[in-house]
Amino acid sequence: MTEQDINQLLGKLPQLKQEIQKVIVGQEEVLDEVLITLLAGGHGLLEGVPGLAKTLLVRTLSNAMDLSFRRIQFTPDLMPTDILGTEVLEEDHATGKRFFKFNEGPIFANIVLADEINRTPPKTQAALLEAMQEYEVTYAGTTYTLPKPFFLLATQNPIEQAGTYPLPEAQLDRFLLYIKIKYPTELEELNILTSTTGTRQAQVYPAISGEEILQLRQLVREVSISDDLLTYVNHLVRATRPDTTSSEHIKSYVRWGAGPRAGQALILTSKARALLQGRFAVTAADVQTMAFPVLRHRILVNFTAEAERITPDKVVEELLQHIKLPKTVLV
Is residue 251 domain-shared with residue 165, that is, in the same domain? no
Q: Residue 329 domain-assigned?
A: no
Sequence-separated (6 or more) residues with CB below 8 Å from residue 279: 223
Q: What is the pLDDT of residue 54?
A: 79
Using an 8 Å Cβ cutoff, are 74 and 117 in contact? yes
Taking the C-alpha atoms of residue 312 and residue 97, their distance in angstroms, rounded to an integer, is 59
pLDDT band at 294 (very low <50, low <70, confident <90, very high): very high
Sequence-separated (6 or more) residues with CB below 8 Å from residue 197: none
Q: What is the CATH number of the domain that holds 28?
A: 3.40.50.300
Of 104, 86, 176, 115, which Cα lies nearest the Cα of 146? Answer: 104
Is residue 151 domain-shared with residue 272, that is, in the same domain? no
Q: Residue 304 domain-assigned?
A: yes
pLDDT band at 52 (very low <50, low <70, confident <90, very high): confident
Is residue 51 domain-shared with residue 187, that is, in the same domain? yes
Is residue 31 domain-shared with residue 112, that is, in the same domain? yes
**pLDDT above 70 for 265:** yes
**pLDDT above 80 for 167:** yes
Is residue 25 domain-shared with residue 168, that is, in the same domain? yes
Q: What is the pLDDT of residue 176?
A: 92
Q: Residue 146 domain-assigned?
A: yes
Is residue 236 domain-shared with residue 139, that is, in the same domain? no
Q: pTM of the full predicted structure?
A: 0.87
Taking the C-alpha atoms of residue 181 and residue 140, their distance in angstroms, rounded to an integer, is 39
* Boundary of a domain, candidates 179, 210, 241: 210
Percent of the chain topping pLDDT 90: 23
**pLDDT above 70 for 331:** no
Q: What is the CATH number of the domain that holds 257?
A: 1.10.8.80
Is residue 270 domain-shared with residue 154, that is, in the same domain? no
Q: Per-residue pLDDT averaged across 107-136, rounded?
A: 87
pLDDT band at 161 (very low <50, low <70, confident <90, very high): low
Phi-psi region at 109: left, alpha or beta (left = phi > 0; alpha = psi -120 to 50): beta
Is residue 42 domain-shared with residue 109, that is, in the same domain? yes
Is residue 51 domain-shared with residue 150, that is, in the same domain? yes
pLDDT band at 238 (very low <50, low <70, confident <90, very high): very high
Q: Per-residue pLDDT averaged across 64-69, rounded?
A: 85
Q: Per-residue pLDDT averaged across 199-209, rounded?
A: 80
Alpha-helix runs per DSSP H in the chain: 3-10, 12-20, 28-40, 54-63, 80-84, 122-125, 129-134, 169-172, 186-196, 210-221, 227-238, 248-253, 260-276, 284-295, 303-307, 312-322
Q: Residue 290 domain-assigned?
A: yes
* Residue 284 lies in domain: 223-322
Number of separate domains in the chain: 2
